[in-house]
Amino acid sequence: MKKIIECVPNISEGRNQEIIDACANAVRKVKGAKLLDVDPGKSTNRTVFTFVGDPESVVEAAFQFSKTAYELIDMTTHKGEHPRMGAVDVVPFVPVANVTIEECVECAKKFGERVGKELGVPIYLYEEASTNPDRKMLRQIRSGEYEGIKDKIYKPEWKPDFGPQEFVPKSGATATGVRFFLIAYNVNILGTREQAHRIALNIREQGRSDDEPGRLKAIKAIGWYVDEYNMAQVSINLDNYTITPPHVVFEECAKDARELNLAACGSELVGLIPLEAMLMAAEYYMEKENLFLIDEKQKIRLVVERLGLSSVSQFIPEKRIIEYMIDEGSNEPLASLSVRDFVELVGARTSAPGGGSVSALIASLGAALGAMMGWMSYGTKKFESIDSKMRKFIPPLHTKMKELISMIDADTNAFNDYMIAMKMPKNSDAEKSIRHTKMQEGLKKAIDVPLKVMRISDSCWEWMIQMAKYGNMSSKSDLEVGAKSLETGIWGAFKNVEINLPQIEDNNYKKEILTEAENILENAKKNLSKVINSLAKR
Phi, psi (degrees; rounded to nearest 5) at 258: -60, -40
Rounded Cα–Cα distance for residues 83 and 142 (Å): 7
Residue 178 contacts residue 129 (beta carbons within 8 Å): yes
Sequence-separated (6 or more) residues with CB below 8 Å from residue 43: 14, 80, 81
Where helices occur in 115-192 by DSSP H, the ranges are 138-142, 145-152
3-state DSSP percent of the chain in helix, strand and coil, to 5: 55, 15, 30
* Residue 407 identity (one-letter amino acid): M
Find the mean pLDDT for residues 268-284. 93
Percent of the chain with pLDDT over 90: 78
Instruction: Give me the pLDDT at residue 190, please.
Output: 97
Q: How far, in Å, are 135, 294, 390 from residue 302 at the CA level?
A: 43, 12, 21
- What are the pLDDT digits (tens) for 403-457? 999 999 888 777 777 788 888 888 898 888 998 898 898 888 889 999 999 999 9
Q: State which H helix or E strand residue 176 sits in.
A: strand 174-178
How far apart CA 126 and CA 373 sit, in angstroms, is 53
* 363: pLDDT strictly greater than 90: yes
Give yes or no for residue 41 having a pLDDT over 90: no
68 conformational bin, left if phi > 0, alpha if psi -120 to 50, beta if neither: alpha
| Reported confidence tier of residue 514, pLDDT bands at 50, 70, 90 | very high
Question: Would you place residue 362 in the very low, low, confident or very high pLDDT band (cuts 50, 70, 90)?
Answer: very high
| Residues involved in catalysis | 82, 411
* Across 285-308, average pLDDT: 97
Residue 463, pLDDT above cutoff 90: yes
The residue with greater pLDDT, 330 or 466, is 466
Domains of the chain with CATH codes: 4-178 (3.30.990.10), 183-325 (3.30.70.670), 332-537 (1.20.120.680)
pLDDT of residue 1: 63
What is the pLDDT, as a whole number, of residue 233?
95
Question: 217-235: per-residue pLDDT in tens?
Answer: 999 999 999 998 999 999 9
Is 330's pLDDT higher than 70? no
Establish whether the linkage from the previous residue to 353 is cis, with ω within 30° of 0: yes
Q: Residue 537: what pLDDT?
A: 94
For residue 340, is it left (φ>0), alpha (ψ between -120 and 50) or beta? alpha
pLDDT of 326 > 80? The answer is no
